[in-house]
Structure 1
Amino acid sequence: MSVPATLCIGAVQWDLIGHTADPMPAGADLPGRVSRMPGGVAFNIAQALAREGLTVALLATVGTDAEGEGLVRAGMALGLDMRFLHRGGATDLYLALEAEGALVGAVADARALEEAGEAVLEPLRDGRLATEALPFAGTAVIDGNLPEPILSGLAASGLLARADLRLAPASPAKAPRLAPLLAHPGAVLHLNRAEAAAICGADFPTSLAAAEALLARGV
């Protein structure tokens, strides 16, 4: 089995997004359109990298339901390597409402990813991608949707000790989950000022100030 050069580890789900051109106060029931598309931070990054010609595999979880099968087919159609997915439970879903081109609110149901736990990382242990003795040595993109205990365990395990890590927080609320991986010598953070503030526990007036604070934490 060939080993892909790049892994994207984290959220794979269906994005269900309602759009309306009108203002949306609380309780409004408005005409508009609803789109449904494959999504999740890991999936979105993977397909962007695949468009640039990279060979990318996903480490994530999708259900054994029809929605999960649909995500697998969608990923394969985009040229993604879907061989290493964990399968189980119901497929995760992101539900959002947008009005006048701006996000009104969203709910991310990531129960499948959270319940899968360490099983998502099994291909890094069982020889399909790597082993404890021979860690994965390619590029690994990790998003902040993984539960903090999984990320802490991953940082302590050495499974990615030789990898080029790219960390994508996914949101300010989830950014602190990535803190255990910040000391990895090959880690690069891709984040905004709000996510930096969440990691450091302080607000920053500029991106430069945020970057300096992250460097002081060992990034």
Structure 2
Amino acid sequence: MTLAAFGAIHLDTLADAQRAILRDTSTPARLTTRPGGVAANVARALARLSPPCALAGAVGRDSDGDVLLASLRAEGIDVSTVHRSDHPTGRYLALHDPDGGLAAAVVDGAITDALRPGDIDIAHPALAEADLWFIEANLPQPVLGQIAAAAGHRLLAADAVSIAKAPRLAEVLDRLDILFCNRLEGAALLGQRHAGPAPAPEDALAIASALVALGVGACLVSDGPAPLALATAGACLSLAVAPVAVRDVTGAGDALIAGTLAARARGWDIGDAARAGLAAARVTVQAQGAAPVTLTWDAVLGESAAAASPTA
């Protein structure tokens, strides 16, 4: 099964501080720059776990765009359908405390917000031949609708991205085979579509079940270190999140998505696929940055086995 990801492509700058980050003063840190954006990070992780993978989105006609495309190609990602825009390439800046926690982050995603139907060539073979499409709520609603309508027989997965952007998926819920969100994003999405009393925002499993009732095939609702809620039309599961020593939280959610989709591409059922996603996230947070070189399918299998063992 081949895969394609649609959405944000950014140039990320990550600042790893040597001491706790404080307001109104500078902090010594090590800065690194690498590809980022939800869709780009998912595609990068998928390229490590389940090649081949194509990526569709937009970068500018600037040097940052050139650098990004060259870097993504070098990672084995097909970027032949990436739109070159007159807008500047998207940028993301994250400030990490010494414990790996995210102290603050800002993003300039205007280039993705400016995408319009037709900017992405959905008929291009790199996309048309993929069996599974992944979309994310950084994309404008008209583009999400266009992609969902064109998905046809393919598996269609989506990420809600943020509380502010999750409602963009409201009109395509009944076309989604898999939806990833955290509990606050799920509650925001339900606020757009739920006809009756909404589940309590702290109840991840009820949120997942309510989204399935609106037409989603399978819904995975994360809640930090709390269990991952998984609901389908026939079952509800609460999957424990095994503790791990965190080095960098960057890309953990993207790795959860990529691990789950890579397992589904191998024919795993959604429950086992979600466990693989959790394992991929654990591998990722123990390394530096999204899609680290340590993220391999063998590492996911090893982490899954360790988490399932009685002594884990």
Per the normalisation by structure 2, the TM-score is 0.61
C-alpha distance in 1, partners of 2:68/2:187? 34
Query: Once the 2 structures are TM-superposed, how far is the Cα of residue 34 of structure 1 from its aligned partner?
Result: 1.1
C-alpha distance in 1, partners of 2:206/2:169? 20
Measured against aligned partners, the alpha-carbon deviations of 1:161-215 in whole angstroms (never above 9, x if no partner) come to: 222101012222221111122111x521122212211111254333211112112
Give yes or no for the alignment of 1:93 onto 2:91. Answer: yes
C-alpha distance in 2, partners of 1:130/1:55? 10
1:128 partner amino acid: H
Q: Which runs of 4+ in 1 moved over 3 A?
A: 152-155
Give yes or no for the alignment of 1:15 onto 2:6. Answer: no
C-alpha distance in 2, partners of 1:144/1:63? 20
C-alpha distance in 1, partners of 2:145/2:124? 22
Aligned partner of 2:166 in structure 1 is 175
Aligned partner of 1:30 in structure 2 is 27
Aligned partner of 1:200 in structure 2 is 190
1:43 partner amino acid: A
CA RMSD of aligned residues (A): 2.2
Aligned partner of 1:152 in structure 2 is 145
Query: Once the 2 structures are TM-superposed, how far is the Cα of residue 136 of structure 1 from its aligned partner?
Result: 6.3
Aligned partner of 2:227 in structure 1 is none
| Consecutive unaligned residues in structure 1, runs of 5 or more | none
1:95 partner amino acid: L
CA pair 83-51 structure 1, distance change in 2 beyond 3 A? same
Identity %: 35
Give yes or no for the alignment of 1:110 onto 2:109. Answer: yes
Query: Does structure 2 retain, via aligned residues, the 8 Å contact 1:5–1:55?
Result: yes
Aligned partner of 1:81 in structure 2 is 78
Query: Does structure 2 retain, via aligned residues, the 8 Å contact 1:136–1:163?
Result: no
| Consecutive unaligned residues in structure 2, runs of 5 or more | 192-197, 217-312
Per the normalisation by structure 1, the TM-score is 0.85
2:190 partner amino acid: C
C-alpha distance in 1, partners of 2:118/2:110? 14
Task: Tell me the number of residue pairs that the alignment of Structure 1 and Structure 2 aligns.
Answer: 207
Name the SS for the 1:73 alignment partner: helix
Query: Once the 2 structures are TM-superposed, how far is the Cα of residue 48 of structure 1 from its aligned partner?
Result: 1.1
Give yes or no for the alignment of 1:128 onto 2:124. Answer: yes
Aligned partner of 2:181 in structure 1 is 191
Query: Once the 2 structures are TM-superposed, how far is the Cα of residue 137 of structure 1 from its aligned partner?
Result: 6.3
C-alpha distance in 1, partners of 2:144/2:162? 16
